[in-house]
Structure 1
Amino acid sequence: MKRAPLLQLFALLALAAPLAWAQPPAHEGAVDRLVVLAFDADETDSPYRLGLATGLQRALNVIDGVYAPPVGDTLLVAQRAEAQGTLDTATFAEAFGARALVSGLVGLSGDGEGLVIDLVFAGPDDAVRRVPVSGPADNPAALLASVVEAVVTELELTLSADDEAQVAAVVAQTPSLASLGAVGEAALGLEARDTPELQAAAERDAGSSWVLSERAEALAAAGELEPALAASLAAIEAAPEDVEALVKRGVVLAAAGDAATAREAFAAALALNPAHAVALAGSARFAEPEAARAALTRALKAYPRYAAAYLELAALQRRTDDAEGALITLREAVERVPESASLHAALIGELVRRGEGDEALAVLEARLAADPDPSAYALASALGEAQSARALEILREGRQRYPQDAALALAEAEVLRGTGNLEAAEAVLQEALDAAPTNPELANQLAITQAQAGRTDEARATLEAALAQNPQARGVLERNLAQLLLEAGQNEAAIGVLEPLLARDAGDPELYTLYGLALGGAGRFDQALNALDEALRLAPTSQDAQNARRLVEQNQRLTGAERLAFDPDVAAVFGAGLSALQADELAAAQREFDRAAELQADVADEAGAEAGTIAFYQGYARQLQGDLRGAVEHYERALEGLPESATVLNNAGFAYFRLGRFDRALDYLTRATQADPDNSEAQLNLGLVLFDLGRFAQAVAPLERALERNPDLAELRVDPGDGEPLLLPELVDQARQSAQ
């Protein structure tokens, strides 16, 4: 850990006048935001640098209404401020909205047997106080107890009896001095890694909730979910009062797809401290939109630099048709966390989606001007097709500046692939892989590029070579190989790779999702749906599994369970389109489906089921992007090959409805319900068209049939056009009343 920024800050604070402290917020629901900085210690006492700081943060966060952000983030702000020459208390007050900063200087006592910690408190107005605390050098728990007591007293925190018991319980979990440094490093919140030091700490202090919860998060980040779940459970059993352990338990459960138990863990954390930002954001993942929005807003109030919460909130706003709100959220986010590449990527992506490519480029260039690091250059890959030439210029400049950075090679290859220049993309990746032959992601992307170029055998050989170089990454690379085969339309080969993986790890919902897609692509629809049902049993909230199931059901309905016989080249491109569609990469999906249609026209009768299926997906990709006129044009072509498909008729009818062509909409939707009376979407859309036309009596029957066939539609809200949105059963009641 770099000590200079904190020493410089302490030197500045020592010159400040000891003014009065701001009082803790008094109104109900307010958050008392405090910042804990890493302590300063020499090498002899180095475990206390991070161990005491993260322990203090952990103890403060069990107090009702108090929140202290991860110490790693406060360290990032300190280092950034030092580089910019703005290191003062106002920097932290502005970044975190904090009432006070706390840190300390650790040194030996006069007799050399104990430690003296000179606690340093600073307010946003540079009010400074120093409070000495002493204790035995070999007893971290005793030292931390003294530190926490002094901080509570100095900052005039009001603790209930429950708060006091919770703080004492957390302090009692302090690991031994030999483990303290590794646990403090893990608790920074910067990167979850299962280091040898953390593994040794887990053996040495096997009963500490601190050690167990940090190890659980590191294991989950490495994809080792079973031991992560066991460690996270042991952590909360060791100390049910440890809020950080409960939060990490929720994170691990969410990664394992256990939404119900994850929700319980986050709720238990919030019962102890309703102001805990990470628990609030975690609970939002499993809440209805309005409750999720409120929880994320409260999380950002507690922790204004919480990048993940900004991303979740913006994604929620997009899902609820609040694109303007998403843009505002992301603009605020990059101002609050200006060094975050993920936030800049999200903002650039949002601007590109809105067709504001020039502004997206301006955002990137401003980021490069402020901090031209490799992650800033890599953002160019998000600029979109319209800015691809400038993106390549930026990426090549970045690669000249950072020639060994693999992320920049990956970003350049991504842009080249997006422009269809597969040969150049392959050359970039091959050069980078030659320089870093053990990098599995370079091998993975090279294999994907080779597969997209139609050289699946070479792609498979590339991944198999990577397996030899990276045996520890076997599971990841085999999964990537299966994904590659899926995208190449080689569904039976993908099944052959996935089945041994499932035999080794039958509890992985992602594997079952891939397996279901492969089975569906092979025309084995019933088996595919069973596999996807298992994925959803393991991970009920998995968006990927839900999307895959809808896709397989749609394909089954689309073709009447008939197995399509695509030419291999067509199958590869069409499979890539389906993969892009499932990943919600709509522009890429449209490009692949259009390419598949061109190839199909060269090899077969355009009026066949294969051509009809491709045309349907050409229309579907356009419809999802709001291009309704382009959608109906391709749906009409799809009906030439699939004239009785209720799915095509329903989608065409709905698109015509949105275009105001009620005559065509009624015709197509009526035919859809006749072709498949059990198609709840067609019944719903027919009822909505009739309702919109004021034909209320006729609307009731199809709306009721939609609810009978899909009871989940009872939660659907529909805009009746003259008031607040109604639940679908309420709309049916209104139709009945209006018909009388």
Structure 2
Amino acid sequence: MGLLSRFFSPKNPLENLRRLARDERWADLLRLGEAPDEDLALEIRDEWHALLTLAGDRLAELNLAEGEACLNIGDRERALEHFQLAAEHGRSEVLREDARRRLTELSLPSPSRPPSSETSACCPSGCAASLGKAPGEAEAPDLETRLELVLSNYPPELAELYRQVGTAFRRAFLAAHDGRDGEALAGFDALPAEEQDASFHFERGALLARMGDVAAGRWNLEKAVALNPAHVLALETLVRLDFLEKRPQKAEERLTRMLAAQLVPAFCHGCLARLRAAEGDFSAALLHGEEALREGPVEMDVLLLLASLYEREGRFTEAENLLRRLPGSGCGGASHVLLAEFWLRRGESLKKALESFRAEARRDPGNPRWQLRMAQVCAALGWLKDGRPWLDRLPALDDLPSELRQEAGEVLALYGK
């Protein structure tokens, strides 16, 4: 049975989509209108697609705003999720390009942004400080202080080189790290040839890549490596671009050379773990992931990959220990939802898992994943009466995202529905 016959009156197939648009239920509109009936009249089909375009763009705009809010409180992981959703949902090229630019920017090395004083959309309870400057708050730091703040995120040997650059370079450099891309590019382009060293080419290349001109950015980054073969930030950025552009062989060749030169081995092994896992060689991926962990701090995606590999191998304690490193959900100290889902799969710490899912449901109330998880936990605890309200809030099975349908069917059977 098609979508029309399931959800809409045959006399007015657009009415439900219009109602969802009036109510600004953009995700529901996209889900229900995903596959229009082939027999629709042309004028109806045009309005149908117009409503889908509106919903996709509104969701993209919301996710772009959410992503920026998450960045303002230092939650890079959730910012990436929101920008990815914006890139997927956006129908207009301007919105999709904006989302892709932010994803590219976050995939490149850059200093962490300090938490904002603004209340963030990532924290519905509004636990952040109120807007505006607090009484007695210090004025904006001077050029030298700002430079040191940024360089605190750079390797010491590179940071020392940046302390020796001229004022014009510093201004362009700080503009780039403040997100003033146009001003930064103009500043770099105005530098004389004698100042266009490896640092110049790295900063200009990373900036161009963040602005979407990956080819030009890559040229500058390769030039930086030619001038300084041990420029680890340029090398890491090139590897990230290789991943971004789906060039795994090129990435592996570069990583192999970096390992031979003993440059950032934790980063190299983490990337090789991702490559091996993508090929289905999970044993090799596990070895590289463990080596990355031994060599130093690893990025979030490598930690999650290694935890999943441990769980796959039945090494549950090691998997749980890694997941415990993830930041908590919300402001009440609840554990990260990925740890909570691990507990649910294992039938362990179910009450703590329930608190995590509740915190996430408060943050993202329209996501049926958390309603399903709470119903699953209640079923596992034998609290069917407590879990039934969450189950009743779930959309129909056919309306759920495909990855949740089987689980939802299983939990419906547990509740006898």
* TM-score bin (small chain): 0.3 to 0.5
Which protein shows a greater Rg? 1
Higher strand share goes to which structure? Answer: 1
| TM-score, with length taken from structure 2 | 0.46
| TM-score, with length taken from structure 1 | 0.28
